[in-house]
Amino acid sequence: MRLKVIWFLTLLAVLGMMIMIFLFSREDADRSSDKSSAVTEYIVETAERVIPALTSKESMISRDSLETLVRKCAHFLEYALLSFFLNLHFLAGQALWLREGLAGGKVIKRSAAAILVSFLYALTDEFHQFFVPGRAARLADVGIDSLGALFGLLLFLTLSSQKGKMWMTYYRYRERI
């Protein structure tokens, strides 16, 4: 029962991330730009408070360049989270299959499936943006999204291997008692 709940919760996380990406992508250019500008302004104001030397004209990068960076980082992080949640969901599914006596998938297959789903969703996301007023479909964004998905996979593998090491150490120690 517990595995089914975990599987369902990870499915909700994946679907929630996909819905969030879709909702951000359906915003017209003006609304999207307003959000990016607000985040950029917050970053600039915070940086100026922390490092007063940033207020000089020579040391600041242009706000347009910073806003572009904010947009690309948002693409990257959205797909990093999507990939991370997909990996969790696929791992929960594998655990369910193993419990039911079915063959489980290998890590490489789960990882490849998460990257593939993320990549295909990035393609459909950019296709969708083609029809949104003021927005454009860019293959460069698909590349950034895919790099984000790869980062999410690497983060997942790193965290899951660390947790695995922790549990192995715990069980080895427990056996000695």
150-173 pLDDT, tens digit each? 999 999 988 887 665 665 555 555
pLDDT digits 0-9 by tens, 109-134: 888 999 999 999 999 999 999 998 88
Supply the pLDDT for residue 53.
Answer: 64
Q: What is the pLDDT of residue 126?
A: 93
Q: What is the pLDDT of residues 31-56, one digit of tens each?
A: 888 888 888 888 878 877 787 666 55
Instruction: Give yes or no for residue 103 having a pLDDT over 70.
Output: no
Give this prediction's pTM.
Answer: 0.81
Count the Cβ atoms, other than its own, within 10 Å of residue 31: 12
More confident residue, 9 or 51: 9
pLDDT in tens, 70-95: 889 999 999 999 999 999 998 888 87
